[in-house]
């Protein structure tokens, strides 16, 4: 494949949609050491007065996270939010059945909102529709968002939070299609409960943005039928349906892992088709978008093989996956997929943020550091601005994979910020052997030159960062070629993620 260049056509007219800043969301769940020992560790040398780790906060800001979903996940389906507010010495310690852990409730909504403000992120709150219903969701909404003069808003004020939080985005439960979920329901049962909860919440605030639970993944036997039924019940009451998907290497099949975003593309297309089918059936003029509020590489098979601890302990380390360069390429290509669907996927949350299935690792009492997957996320979040552009590749080679059949070796998307005169191209090369040579057709961008080329690659696709060597894998800035008569020639190494930043040369300077 190395001898035939792939022609990559980019044109400002190939517009998909504006870049949604909410694409760069993450997820904090009371699971393992994500909260305790991740966001919150009062004895840590970097902890502030509340107990929040400042070193972790710095990395979250550097990662460019914009939205954080909280407090679960499976955890939320058994959670009583009231346990996590008020004086800490009066908060109850409870069993968390979802992760077979002991929950001290030392960290709850008020601590999360303090953390969210320090991190500069938008909160996205999930309500418990597993073991609870509309009444408790309304109570939480009153506590969080009502200015004052009612029992629960005054309770918040008595906890020192005078100003209401003004939380706009709310998830109506979590993965209610999954038999593992506390309070698991059929699509009809959940659709009714979600619709009634949404209607009640909107009687308090019609401007809330609400997310109905979609499927836990495309392999669920109920996938698509679940979305259709839930949306038949909730169409007028919600704005989004959720999607969850985790990628992992199975049985040493690296080619299929590297092609994971092909499955993600298909999943999104199928959900969009289902939403639009319900729109047609309900004769609605409204469009339901996707909140892709859990996605990442997760070595879930390892997790299921080990299982949750048999003892009841507080914040046991769970799913602290060590990510490879190949995993980082998968994260980069997942972001390319999400950007390419910006017309319908307007919220996305990588799961999770710290320690558990996460880009950031925080050592107990020690430093916090960046996993390989941190980098494509941080760079895409920082540089994807303006409008997403569809990119057309001609003479593009393909490769056969066991899981997805024949897939393109390259995956490319671009964003174009015409105010800043900046074009950014994000590309992955999924091939494992030879570099891919590219001939980029930039004739529709006269005067643009390559300002920066950053590559994440290692000769060993399984290279990873560790606490002993946290900077083993980092993105490298490489000397880029010159744009010559609107063409840019370059080579992408195998198993790599690349970002090209092009800016318009100021001819008056």
The site for ligand AHR (CB under 6 A) is made up of 29, 31, 72-74, 174-175, 216, 294, 351-352, 357
Buried b (16+ CB within 10 A) or exposed e, 361-393: bbeeeeebbbbbbbbbbbbbbebbebbbbebeb
User: Of 89, 93, 110, 115, nearest to 156 (Cα)?
Assistant: 110
**Comparison of 181 and 274: residue with beta carbon closer to ligand AHR:** 181
The verdict on whether 142 is a catalytic residue reads no
Q: How many residues are listed for the chain in this entry?
A: 509
Distance, in Å, from the CA atom of 76 to the CA atom of 255, rounded to the nearest integer, reads 35
> Could you tell me the smallest distance in angstroms from the CB atom of residue 88 to ligand AHR?
25
Burial zone of 432 (CB within 10 Å; 0-12 exposed, 13-18 middle, 19+ buried): middle
User: Of 45, 116, 94, 40, nearest to 354 (Cα)?
Assistant: 40
Q: Please identify which of the residues 175, 248, 249, 422 carries the catalytic annotation.
A: 175
> Could you tell me the smallest distance in angstroms from the CB atom of residue 190 to ligand AHR?
14
Q: Please identify which of the residues 82, 103, 249, 294 carries the catalytic annotation.
A: 294
> Could you tell me the smallest distance in angstroms from the CB atom of residue 126 to ligand AHR?
9
Q: Which residue is closest to ligand AHR by CB?
A: 73
CA quadruple 83, 87, 89, 94: dihedral, nearest 10: 10
**Comparison of 153 and 174: residue with beta carbon closer to ligand AHR:** 174
**Comparison of 294 and 422: residue with beta carbon closer to ligand AHR:** 294
**Comparison of 40 and 298: residue with beta carbon closer to ligand AHR:** 298
User: Of 401, 354, 346, 391, nearest to 373 (Cα)?
Assistant: 354
**Comparison of 34 and 275: residue with beta carbon closer to ligand AHR:** 34
User: Of 259, 246, 311, nearest to 73 (Cα)?
Assistant: 246
**Comparison of 242 and 498: residue with beta carbon closer to ligand AHR:** 242
Distance, in Å, from the CA atom of 101 to the CA atom of 455, rounded to the nearest integer, reads 40
Distance, in Å, from the CA atom of 230 to the CA atom of 76, rounded to the nearest integer, reads 20
**Comparison of 211 and 357: residue with beta carbon closer to ligand AHR:** 357
> Could you tell me the smallest distance in angstroms from the CB atom of residue 468 to ligand AHR?
27
Can you give 238-274 as a three-state secondary structure string?
CCEEEEEEEECCCCCCHHHHHCHHHHHHHHHHHHHHH
> Could you tell me the smallest distance in angstroms from the CB atom of residue 123 to ligand AHR?
17
Token pair for residue 52?
């929040």
**DSSP secondary structure string for all residues of 446-488:** TTEEEEEEEEE--SSTT-B--SSSTTSS--EEEPPPPPBTTEE
Distance, in Å, from the CA atom of 196 to the CA atom of 136, rounded to the nearest integer, reads 12
> Could you tell me the smallest distance in angstroms from the CB atom of residue 443 to ligand AHR?
45
Distance, in Å, from the CA atom of 329 to the CA atom of 258, rounded to the nearest integer, reads 7
> Could you tell me the smallest distance in angstroms from the CB atom of residue 357 to ligand AHR?
6
**DSSP secondary structure string for all residues of 123-191:** EEEEE--SS--HHHHHHHHHHHH--SSSHHHHHHHHTT--S-----EEEESS-TT-TTSTT---HHHHH
> Could you tell me the smallest distance in angstroms from the CB atom of residue 99 to ligand AHR?
8
The verdict on whether 175 is a catalytic residue reads yes
Distance, in Å, from the CA atom of 461 to the CA atom of 301, rounded to the nearest integer, reads 20
Write out the catalytic residue numbers: 175, 294
């Amino acid at each position: 494949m190395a001898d035939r260049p792939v022609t990559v056509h980019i044109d400002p007219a190939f517009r998909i949609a504006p870049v949604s800043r909410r694409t760069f969301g993450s997820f904090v769940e009371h699971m393992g050491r994500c909260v305790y020992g991740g966001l919150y560790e009062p004895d840590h040398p970097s902890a502030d007065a509340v107990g929040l780790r400042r070193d972790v906060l710095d990395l979250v800001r550097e990662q460019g996270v914009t939205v954080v979903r909280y407090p679960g996940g499976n955890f939320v389906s058994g959670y009583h939010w009231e346990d996590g507010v008020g004086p800490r010495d009066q908060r109850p310690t409870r069993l968390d059945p979802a992760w077979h852990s002991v929950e001290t409730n030392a960290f709850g909504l008020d601590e999360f909102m303090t953390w969210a403000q320090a991190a500069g992120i938008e909160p996205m709150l999930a309500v418990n529709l597993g073991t609870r219903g509309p009444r408790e969701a309304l109570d939480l909404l009153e506590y969080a968002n009502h200015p004052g003069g009612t029992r629960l808003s005054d309770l918040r004020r008595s906890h020192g939070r005078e100003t209401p939080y003004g939380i706009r985005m709310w998830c109506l439960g979590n993965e209610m299609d999954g038999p593992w979920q506390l309070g698991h329901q059929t699509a009809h049962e959940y659709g009714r409960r979600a619709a009634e909860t949404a209607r009640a919440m909107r009687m308090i605030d019609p401007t809330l943005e609400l997310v109905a639970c979609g499927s836990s993944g495309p392999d669920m036997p109920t996938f698509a039928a679940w979305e259709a039924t839930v949306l038949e019940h909730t169409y007028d009451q919600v704005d989004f349906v959720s999607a969850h998907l985790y990628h992992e290497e199975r049985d040493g099949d690296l080619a299929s892992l590297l092609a994971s975003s092909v499955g993600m593309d298909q999943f999104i297309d199928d959900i969009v088709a289902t939403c639009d089918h319900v729109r047609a059936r309900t004769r609605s003029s409204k469009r339901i978008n996707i909140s892709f509020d859990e996605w990442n590489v997760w070595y879930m098979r390892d997790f299921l093989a080990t299982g949750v601890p048999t003892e009841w302990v507080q914040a046991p380390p769970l799913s602290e996956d060590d990510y490879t360069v190949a995993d980082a390429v998968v994260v980069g290509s997942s972001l390319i997929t999400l950007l390419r669907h910006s017309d319908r996927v307007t919220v996305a949350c990588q799961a999770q943020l710290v320690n558990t299935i996460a880009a950031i690792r925080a050592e107990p009492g020690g430093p916090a550091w960046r996993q390989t997957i941190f980098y494509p996320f941080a760079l895409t979040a920082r540089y994807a601005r303006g409008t997403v552009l569809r990119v057309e590749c001609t003479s593009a080679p393909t490769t056969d994979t066991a899981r997805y059949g024949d897939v393109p070796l390259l995956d490319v998307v671009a964003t174009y910020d015409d105010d800043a005169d900046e074009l950014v191209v994000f590309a992955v090369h999924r091939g494992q052997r030879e570099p891919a040579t590219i001939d980029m057709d930039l004739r529709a961008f006269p005067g643009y030159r390559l300002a920066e080329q950053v590559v994440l690659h290692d000769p060993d696709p399984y290279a990873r960062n560790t606490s002993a060597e946290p900077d083993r894998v980092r993105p490298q800035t490489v000397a880029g070629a010159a744009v010559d008569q609107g063409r840019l020639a370059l080579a992408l190494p195998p198993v790599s993620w690349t970002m090209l930043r092009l800016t318009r040369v100021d001819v008056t300077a």
